[in-house]
Chains A and B, each alone.
Chain A
Amino acid sequence: MTSNWIENALAEHEQHEARASQDTSQDTSQDTGRDGPVSDREQQVLDRIDRARRRRPKVREERITMAHGAGGKATHTLIEAVFLDSFRNPLLEPLEDAATLKAGPARVALTTDSYVVSPLFFPGGDIGELAVNGTVNDLAVSGATPQYLSAGFILEEGFGVEDLIRIAGSMRDAAAAAGVQIVTGDTKVVQRGKADGCYINTAGVGVFERDLTLGVAQARPGDAIIVSGPVGDHGVTIMLARGELDIEADLQSDTAPLNGLVAGLLDQVPGVRALRDATRGGVATILNEIATAADVGVSVNEDAIPVRAEVRGAAELLGIDPMYVACEGRLVAVVDGAAAEEALAAMHAHPLGVQAAVIGHVTADSPGLVSLKTAFGGTRIVDLLVGDPLPRIC
């Protein structure tokens, strides 16, 4: 940050507001001064904020902070302002979990993901299993059948070969379980202290066997929103596995390949509009992506969201909301409201979807906003996460 960052932020804000008030189509948003009725004045402020949020995102920091990797607002800003701006093309623009491409006559999905989880080994899995499942899931939720993966390793000088063998073994087993093959790879070693043991990047290719295009932009009012199982297991497991908190719980990561669950759902239920796997940023982030991409409202019921008691307890103690905590084997589905029961039944029939539940629906009002009916009976909004409560979760 430069020393005049505050002045810059204020000046920029003034400019935008001046422009907005010149625009006659915006005349409903003119301030009526401090004497107007409170609810009107509040609504004007809400409209002003809505305009501010729709502005082109801009990275204000001079350097990357941990928040840029947290999957929340800063990550979105970075992706849009730096990467999308530099690489802009119609295939990238939807910013889905995987890109959909043509390769000859076939329609294929391509995705990539890097893994920096700490610790490398944790209850329920390790970085290798995560690296395979994460990429398999990004392909699966695009509607494609995952087929081939690449694996790139960045290793730190001094890293134990035995640990690397163990990680490779997990990758082999996870690939076999998901029905994919690891067909190409890369290895780099950096000096001690320049990495933390082992980082992995995987890319994956899948083939579309069904004639359908999924995407959060297709959500429309009346659609049901379903999660496939209890949320937050992975994030809380990692947090506790670090041993910094002196909290113990009988919990393990939910890392799992979702392609079987997705195939069952897509084969049995027409009317699936979008699928997302709830990794960094959790379910709350996906709900916001739906609201923004489709310009719809999303209304969810806190009571309906499945959360394990252990996860809820730990989250209460840590002051975090399970809705923002990463999962590695859960998806969020947007389904035509009329097909909700059918979709639920299809998911219940798969071992990874036994606890699937409808958590809310898409609405026509409050476009762009996610609102939550709390278990207490009140209402609030659910925004994108700011800051970084749980770094290096995957």
Chain B
Amino acid sequence: MRFVDEFRDADKAHALSAKIAALCEPGRQYKFMEVCGGHTHTIYKHGLEDYLPESITLVHGPGCPVCVIPMGRVDDAMHLAAQDDVIMTSFGDMMRVPGSQGSFFDAKAAGTDIRMVYSPLDSLKIARNNPDQRVVFMAIGFETTAPSTAMTIMRAAAEGLENFSVFCNHVTIIPAIKAILDSPDLRLDGFIGPGHVSTVIGCRPYEFIARDYGKPVVVAGFEPLDILQSIYMLMVQLSEHRSEVENQYSRVVPWDGNPVALKVIGETMQLRPYFEWRGLGFISHSALSVREQYAKFDAELLFDVPGVRVADPKACQCGEVLKGVLKPWECKVFGTACTPETPIGTCMVSPEGACAAYYNFGRMNRNRVAEVTIGSRP
């Protein structure tokens, strides 16, 4: 299939793998963080780690939209959804995220009107068709999805829709990366930069990582060869003692981002002073709320949102996993009390979550697999 197969070519992968191995300094360990959950998913789905030498470890980062939603926000959303005249809409990923009383799926089974949408614009259709009810869209995601929420708000305003609002949980990626860089627990050698987010914000916002922290960043695409090439580019930078921001995903990501998308976000949303992230705690200026001009579409103003903070279950180590301090399987409840079927932590919910990716795709003895793969190389 065109535009897919050429990015999954095993021969090219073998060649890149050899070049990466050749750049490894004997005795040195390398740790790269893939910031984006989409990358985590690709890495496990295609078995990409089989191509990496043992000295390179990939650390899974915080860029998974549903993984960073704290339990209290899920409970707030449930509270909104439970109002008699409310239809809650949400992306499929959100449906299984556990709140302290269960997930959207559980609430739906108990009679709450929660509907899955593929686009936020579908919520407007539902609002038009149900004029006697209030439709609330549970907006989640980084800068990748914020523009579509922004467009939806602007469309609702242009149409004069009276029964639509947004429960805004959009977050921004840079403060999360900064929190990880400032965390004493983790020593990283470089970053595989988030491709989708960068289509919107561009590559410039990462320059501080290279400049102030001396870590190379390569913004990467989502096919397995994209990621392998990005790891190669990081290794080249390290071997040449450079730390720069490079763009592997130039076929999609413009250096300066997407000005139209940034403009609509700016038009409809503003930075919150602080926002709680699951496992990472409160991070200042790390999330977006609906701007005052669009207050009539802001569910947090229209409804009485309890805003109760729910502490993460003690046994749950999502925060450590999100920061890359723990590997998914190192969490005490991984795969036993916490499974994709009955997730306790958010990282086990989304296909982009590190725990779900590892449980669904990577739950096998890598050592033996690596031998088999290397032995079968042409």
Q: Which of B101-109, B164-172, B180-188, B267-275 contacts A (4 or more CB under 8 A)?
A: B101-109
State whether A65 touches B344 (Cβ < 8 A).
no
A381 to chain B minimum Cβ distance, whole angstroms, is 5
Bound together, the chains give a CA A376 to CA B118 distance in angstroms of 29
State whether A73 touches B341 (Cβ < 8 A).
yes
Q: Does B96 contact A (CB under 8 A)?
A: yes
State whether B364 touches A376 (Cβ < 8 A).
no
State whether A63 touches B110 (Cβ < 8 A).
yes
Q: Does B100 contact A (CB under 8 A)?
A: yes
B348: nearest chain-A partner, CB-CB:
A386
CB neighbours of A374 from chain B (8 A): 8, 45-47
Q: Does A67 contact B (CB under 8 A)?
A: yes
A355 to chain B minimum Cβ distance, whole angstroms, is 17
Bound together, the chains give a CA A376 to CA B95 distance in angstroms of 31
Bound together, the chains give a CA A331 to CA B268 distance in angstroms of 52
Which of A60, A63, A378 is the one whose CB lies under 8 Å from B50?
A: A378
A82 to chain B minimum Cβ distance, whole angstroms, is 15
Range for the number of chain B residues in contact with chain A: 35 or more
Q: Does A159 contact B (CB under 8 A)?
A: no
Bound together, the chains give a CA A62 to CA B225 distance in angstroms of 44
Q: Does B367 contact A (CB under 8 A)?
A: yes
Within 8 A of A (CB), among B4-40: 4-5, 8-10, 13-14
Residues of A within 8 A of B (CB): 1, 3, 5-7, 9-10, 12-13, 16-17, 39, 41-43, 45-46, 48-49, 52, 60-67, 73-74, 77, 244-245, 309, 312-313, 316, 319, 366, 369, 371-381, 383, 386-387, 389
Bound together, the chains give a CA A379 to CA B374 distance in angstroms of 11
Which of A41, A65, A245, A366 is the one whose CB lies under 8 Å from B105?
A: A65
Q: CB-defined interface of B336-378 with A at 8 Å, one 1/0 digit per residue?
A: 1111111010000001000000011111111101001100000
Bound together, the chains give a CA A43 to CA B9 distance in angstroms of 31
CB neighbours of B333 from chain A (8 A): 10, 13
Bound together, the chains give a CA A39 to CA B54 distance in angstroms of 11
Bound together, the chains give a CA A379 to CA B224 distance in angstroms of 13
Which of A42, A52, A61, A73 is the one whose CB lies under 8 Å from B329?
A: A42
State whether B362 touches A48 (Cβ < 8 A).
no
State whether B47 touches A52 (Cβ < 8 A).
no
B13 to chain A minimum Cβ distance, whole angstroms, is 5
CB neighbours of A65 from chain B (8 A): 105-106, 108-109
CB neighbours of A381 from chain B (8 A): 360-364
Within 8 A of A (CB), among B95-126: 95-96, 98, 100-103, 105-106, 108-110, 118
Which of B327, B342, B373 is the one whose CB lies under 8 Å from A378?
A: B373
Bound together, the chains give a CA A381 to CA B340 distance in angstroms of 15
Which of A39, A63, A376, A386 is the one whose CB lies under 8 Å from B10?
A: A376
Which of B1, B49, B365 is the one whose CB lies under 8 Å from A46?
A: B365
Q: Does B334 contact A (CB under 8 A)?
A: yes
Q: Does B44 contact A (CB under 8 A)?
A: yes
Known: A12-B337, A13-B333, A46-B364. A316 touches B46 (CB 8 A): no
B350 to chain A minimum Cβ distance, whole angstroms, is 10
Bound together, the chains give a CA A72 to CA B257 distance in angstroms of 40
B95: nearest chain-A partner, CB-CB:
A387
State whether A1 touches B101 (Cβ < 8 A).
yes
Bound together, the chains give a CA A380 to CA B110 distance in angstroms of 36
State whether B335 touches A377 (Cβ < 8 A).
no
Known: A46-B364, A65-B108, A366-B364. A74 touches B337 (CB 8 A): no
24 CB contacts below 8 A, A to B, read A6-B98, A39-B365, A39-B367, A41-B330, A42-B366, A46-B363, A48-B336, A49-B335, A49-B363, A65-B106, A65-B109, A66-B109, A73-B340, A244-B118, A316-B4, A369-B363, A374-B47, A376-B10, A376-B46, A376-B225, A377-B50, A381-B360, A381-B361, A381-B363
CB neighbours of B177 from chain A (8 A): none
State whether A379 touches B372 (Cβ < 8 A).
yes
CB neighbours of B105 from chain A (8 A): 65-67
State whether A10 touches B14 (Cβ < 8 A).
no
Q: Does B48 contact A (CB under 8 A)?
A: yes
CB neighbours of A49 from chain B (8 A): 334-336, 359, 363
B8: nearest chain-A partner, CB-CB:
A376
Which of A9, A42, A45, A373 is the one whose CB lies under 8 Å from B342?
A: A9
State whether A45 touches B335 (Cβ < 8 A).
yes
State whether A319 touches B351 (Cβ < 8 A).
yes
B374 to chain A minimum Cβ distance, whole angstroms, is 11
CB neighbours of B362 from chain A (8 A): 380-381
Closest 8 CB pairs of A and B: A378-B47, A1-B102, A377-B10, A13-B337, A49-B335, A63-B109, A386-B340, A380-B361
Bound together, the chains give a CA A41 to CA B365 distance in angstroms of 11
Beyond A65-B106, A376-B13, A378-B49, list 11 extra A-B contacts (CB 8 Å): A9-B337, A9-B342, A39-B366, A39-B367, A73-B340, A73-B341, A371-B364, A371-B369, A377-B10, A379-B369, A380-B46
B376 to chain A minimum Cβ distance, whole angstroms, is 9
B117: nearest chain-A partner, CB-CB:
A244
CB neighbours of B48 from chain A (8 A): 376, 378
CB neighbours of B175 from chain A (8 A): none
A389: nearest chain-B partner, CB-CB:
B92
Q: Does B179 contact A (CB under 8 A)?
A: no
Which of B44, B50, B313, B351 is the one whose CB lies under 8 Å from A6?
A: B313
CB neighbours of B225 from chain A (8 A): 376
Bound together, the chains give a CA A49 to CA B338 distance in angstroms of 10
B259 to chain A minimum Cβ distance, whole angstroms, is 26
Which of B109, B118, B313 is the one whose CB lies under 8 Å from A245?
A: B118
CB neighbours of B249 from chain A (8 A): none
A246 to chain B minimum Cβ distance, whole angstroms, is 9
Known: A60-B342, A65-B105, A374-B46. A379 touches B364 (CB 8 A): yes
CB neighbours of A10 from chain B (8 A): 313, 315, 333, 337, 344
CB neighbours of B360 from chain A (8 A): 381, 383, 386
Q: Does B51 contact A (CB under 8 A)?
A: yes
A313 to chain B minimum Cβ distance, whole angstroms, is 6
CB neighbours of A3 from chain B (8 A): 100-101
Bound together, the chains give a CA A320 to CA B334 distance in angstroms of 24
A127 to chain B minimum Cβ distance, whole angstroms, is 23
